[in-house]
């Protein structure tokens, strides 16, 4: 079973590139959300294992708020952002990972795999 990733990114070119790289690396992409609201809707339809979130989203929900909400729902959150300093200050407690844009495919897949591994360990510990 492959890991399913939701990408939350409002930059179309960047999101398409990341999506193609994730699929190349063997991950399933649950969807690309351009806003926090769209991300919530996609999570209801396809529960992803991991959400890659840009914190600088436009609209009612910024990426930090979205990440907190998704983490509470058991989805591993990785901030993939150009605002790395803000992610460190405000998102560190609930994030499974923090990556600065741009990042290599190696760093991205390592962060996803680590988030999944940590989540699996937490589930086993609570069982």
Q: Is the pLDDT of residue 122 over 60?
A: no
pLDDT 10s digits, 62-95 = 888 999 999 999 999 999 888 777 777 776 788 8
pLDDT at 127 over 50: no
Instruction: Return the pLDDT at 125.
Output: 41
Q: Is the pTM of this model over 0.75?
A: yes
Give the architecture-level CATH label for domain 4-104: 3-Layer(aba) Sandwich (3.40)
For residues 76 and 51, the answer to whether their CB atoms sit within 8 Å is: yes
Model pLDDT for residues 36-53, shown as the tens digit of each residue:
999 999 998 988 999 999
How many residues can be counted in the chain?
A: 127
């Amino acid at each position: 079973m492959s890991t399913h990733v939701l990408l939350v990114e409002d930059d179309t070119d960047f999101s398409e590139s990341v999506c193609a790289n994730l699929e190349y690396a063997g991950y399933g992409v649950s969807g690309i959300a351009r806003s926090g609201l769209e991300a919530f809707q996609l999570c209801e339809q396809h529960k992803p294992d991991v959400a890659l979130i840009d914190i600088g989203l436009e609209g009612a929900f910024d990426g930090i708020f979205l990440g907190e909400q998704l983490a509470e729902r058991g989805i591993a959150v990785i901030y993939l952002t150009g605002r790395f300093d803000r992610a460190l200050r405000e998102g560190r407690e609930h994030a499974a990972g923090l990556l600065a844009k741009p990042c290599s495919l190696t760093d991205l897949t390592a962060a996803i795999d680590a988030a999944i591994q940590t989540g699996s360990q937490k589930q086993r510990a609570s069982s």
